[in-house]
Structure 1
Amino acid sequence: MNAFTRGIVPAVVLAAGLVLSGCATGPGYDNAGYRQGYARCQQGCGVVQDVRPVYIDSGNPNGGTLGAVIGAVAGGVLGSTIGKGDGRTAATVVGAVAGGVVGNQVGRNSGGGGNAWRIVVRLDNGQYATVTQRDDPRVRNGDYVQIADGRVQPM
């Protein structure tokens, strides 16, 4: 082997390797519509397109009022068991007021509103699904996920 052959053959092999490595692609979809390079699932799987925090409004504007009424009645009943005569009357009034204030806050806070996550997933079949869930899904755009029981779960 001469010096020319020893130098040119490795260079040609290296160049061919570099050119062909540029043809490699990441995971795609096979002919059956499944994402290649990931574990297959029967349904509800796809790629996350968008993840964002949202606020859920319970849509129940009367939660605080209903809580106040229930709290006032309960507080009044409990207050009426304390003392005698005018003391009992005062305890009933104080119990009703305190129960109404506490009930109002409980009614507002338990209305179902709060922070959540909205996740848009492009399913393997090409359709889109949007899921809103309270707990952090711990996924980001491009992650492969499964939707099960109304929740997004990483694969």
Structure 2
Amino acid sequence: MTARTAKLALAAAMTMGLALAGCATQPYGNSNSGYYGSQSSAYGNQPVRCNSCGVVQEVQQVYLQNNGSGGTLGAIIGAVAGGVLGNQVGKGDGRKAATVAGAVAGGVVGNQVGKRNSSDQVAWRIVVRLDDGRYATVTQRENPGLRQGDYVEVRGDRVYPR
């Protein structure tokens, strides 16, 4: 190896070292400026990463009761259908009585069918201990695919993995 090659290799190594030094970042939490700021959590001197981030404490599958609109809608449709069918029977006062009886019977049957078809819905209740020590409980219909110990962010009425 000649002296010139050795100098060129040394210069290249120093240039690469300086270039890589520009990529170095401070370890997490050693900065008092920027996004992390100088906030600390309620548990020691760990910085708060975001106001709505934390660790999943519990995930439970729950069932949400339907608001009952299926039974009401079924009763209305059944009453109309029963009234129309009852109107086709008899003449005069008999027709009126058959229309009323058909509407009542159709309403009762439609209500039961509507309730049966609008069953409870599956949801998930997620309890999160936020970085600042508070707890957040979110119930969402979508399966979050989370487990206890996962780090998440709570946005609105949903929990997202981080």
TM range (shorter): 0.5 to 0.7
1:56 is aligned, of 51, 58, 64, to 64
The equivalent residue for 1:79 is 85
Residue identity matched to 1:123: L
Residue identity matched to 1:77: G
Aligned pairs (5 A) from 1:114-125: 114-125=121-132
Percent sequence identity is: 38
SS in 1 for 2:84: helix
Task: Provide the C-alpha distance between the structure 2 equivalents of 1:72 and 1:116, rounded to a whole number of angstroms.
Answer: 30
Structure 1 segments of 4+ aligned residues over 6 angstroms from their partners: 27-30, 86-89
Task: Provide the C-alpha distance between the structure 2 equivalents of 1:31 and 1:69, rounded to a whole number of angstroms.
Answer: 58
Query: Would you say 1:103 and 2:111 are equivalent positions?
Result: yes
Computing the radius of gyration from Cα coordinates, the structure with the larger value is 2
Aligned 8 A contact 2:79 2:105 in 1: no
Aligned 8 A contact 1:68 1:102 in 2: yes
Task: Provide the C-alpha distance between the structure 1 equivalents of 2:75 and 2:150, rounded to a whole number of angstroms.
Answer: 48
SS in 2 for 1:141: coil
**Displacement after TM superposition at 1:121 (Å):** 0.4
Task: Provide the C-alpha distance between the structure 2 equivalents of 1:59 and 1:77, rounded to a whole number of angstroms.
Answer: 26
Task: Provide the C-alpha distance between the structure 2 equivalents of 1:95 and 1:59, rounded to a whole number of angstroms.
Answer: 24
Task: Provide the C-alpha distance between the structure 1 equivalents of 2:83 and 2:104, rounded to a whole number of angstroms.
Answer: 8
**Displacement after TM superposition at 1:54 (Å):** 1.4
Consecutive unaligned residues in structure 1, runs of 5 or more: 1-26, 35-41
Q: Tell me how large the CA RMSD over aligned residues is.
A: 3.9
2:51 is aligned, of 43, 46, 69, to 43
Residue identity matched to 1:121: V
Q: What is the aligned length?
A: 119
Aligned 8 A contact 2:55 2:150 in 1: yes
The equivalent residue for 2:11 is none
Aligned 8 A contact 2:123 2:139 in 1: yes
